[in-house]
Amino acid sequence: MNQPAPVTWKSRWTFILAATGSAVGLGNIWKFPYITGENGGGAFVLVYLACILLIGIPVMIAEIMVGRTGRSDPIHSMLALSRESGGTKVWGLVGGIGMIAGLMIMMFYSVVAGWALEYVFQSVSGNYHGADPAQIEAHFNELLTSDSQQLIWHSLFSFITATVVAAGVAKGIGKAVEILMPLLFLFLIILVGYSAINGDFSAGLHFMFDTDFSRLSGDAILIAMGHAFFTLSLGMGAIMAYGAYFPGHASIGKTVMTIAVLDTVIALLAGMAMFPLVFANGLTPGQGPGLMFVTLPVAFSNMTGGVFFGSLFFALVSIAALSSSISLIEPGVAWLEKQNINRRLSTYGLGLIAWVGGVASIHYSAVFDALDYITANIMLPLGGLLIALFVGWRLDPKRVLDETGMANGPLFSAWRFVLRFIAPFGILVVFLHSLGLFSALQALFD
């Protein structure tokens, strides 16, 4: 039997761009600034950074390693490594649950991406240019209460995502991200510059970096940890699926640092582009999800060249969303392909399921909120916990050393230690804390 040659990215650099494309998305530009706003700023940012460093980065190395070693979809990669190390088939479930989590995320992600598409349209037609803030806010509220409007843009975005995935990931995304990611970065920098000149930059900086731990609730810590998983696309097999196409045997450590740093810098830049404008306009950053869809248009509406910059900004947000959404359904598609169902059918089938869920989250905001909360705060950290335990405790350390391509030195030992002890312990503590178990215990002893 002749096996076809395994699909790989053109180079390690293409993998970095694809993984960064997956990581950088609505999470960085839409979600991070507003959850930071809702959770009081500085201290939240610090907890989030700690989670990236102590949980996100170690788990990402583990995910890529499993994908690259297994060279298959997350279920089969987990199964293969488990079998090889004498473990049970149950580990395959981690991939399966991840696949489902990906579809669940897509069910609200594509709705928000649809809003971004609508804003491209609004910006290009100059509709909010010169409008006053109240009008712009009213427009966003109208969009949120119009099922039919949202349905159009949600469907369009879902269709574009499915078309790209159906055409094959390696060729399509690889080329696209090479052009789009640098552009997105450039535009954020331009916006930060604008914000520094026209906004209240020091208020923005103070808000993001002054740490006042008394403002940090237990739930905020869970949200910070959940967001670390969400923003790095971890715990559901997206990065694992992409890792299966990783060419060659280069060290995973450096690659992961690059992706994580890019993702974090872009999230911080997005905050620095937005908060100074929020403060300069006398708004409060705690206002929630509307931050990007109200505050930024307000800024653009006053900017010279605002029509052009606004259009480009929302186009790039849409594209950043697209390079992420593709990775949300890829694990499922890869798995179905492995069952000999052709890629086209697999993609449109899964796309349809996600689309239906999206329709539900358009109509019921409770569905939207539940999908967001359950995936980011429960399913992704749980997936990450299991992956950390699997690679840290189940697999043979020699095999792990070999497959990460890292040198057998202090860096490898530090990574493995964090993966075995710190990350799982951290995730568990945050879970227990948010379940209120600690306060319940405390009450018992009082």
Sites of contact with ligand PHE (CB under 6 A):
22-23, 25-28, 105, 230-231, 233, 236, 238, 324, 327-328
Nearer Cβ to ligand PHE (43/321): 321
Q: How far is the CB of 8 from ligand PHE (least distance, A)?
A: 20
Q: How far is the CB of 332 from ligand PHE (least distance, A)?
A: 12
Nearer Cβ to ligand PHE (65/113): 113
Any residues with CB less than 8 A from the CB of 415 and at least 6 apart, and which? 58, 61, 253, 404, 406
Nearer Cβ to ligand PHE (233/311): 233
- The upper half-sphere exposure of residue 400, i.e. CA atoms within 13 Å in the direction of its Cβ, equals 25
Closest residue by beta carbon to ligand PHE: 27
Nearer Cβ to ligand PHE (185/308): 185
| Distance separating alpha carbons of residues 237 and 383, to the nearest angstrom | 9
Nearer Cβ to ligand PHE (18/238): 238
Any residues with CB less than 8 A from the CB of 265 and at least 6 apart, and which? none
Nearer Cβ to ligand PHE (122/231): 231
Going by the DSSP 8-state scheme, the letter that residue 80 receives in this structure is: H
* Spatial contact of 109 and 231, defined as CB atoms under 8 Å apart: no
Which SS3 state, helix, strand or coil, does residue 124 take? Answer: helix
Q: How far is the CB of 299 from ligand PHE (least distance, A)?
A: 22
| Distance separating alpha carbons of residues 230 and 381, to the nearest angstrom | 9
| Distance separating alpha carbons of residues 426 and 357, to the nearest angstrom | 32
Q: How far is the CB of 403 from ligand PHE (least distance, A)?
A: 22
Q: What are phi and psi of 131, to 5 degrees?
A: -70, 155
Nearer Cβ to ligand PHE (27/67): 27
| Distance separating alpha carbons of residues 290 and 138, to the nearest angstrom | 11
Q: How far is the CB of 25 from ligand PHE (least distance, A)?
A: 3
Q: Which residues of 68-97 are buried (b: 16+ CB within 10 A; e: fewer)?
A: bbbbbbbbbbbbbbbeeeebeeebbebbbb
Q: How far is the CB of 113 from ligand PHE (least distance, A)?
A: 9
Q: How far is the CB of 424 from ligand PHE (least distance, A)?
A: 20
* Spatial contact of 263 and 31, defined as CB atoms under 8 Å apart: no
The residue written with tokens 């993001």 in the block is 208
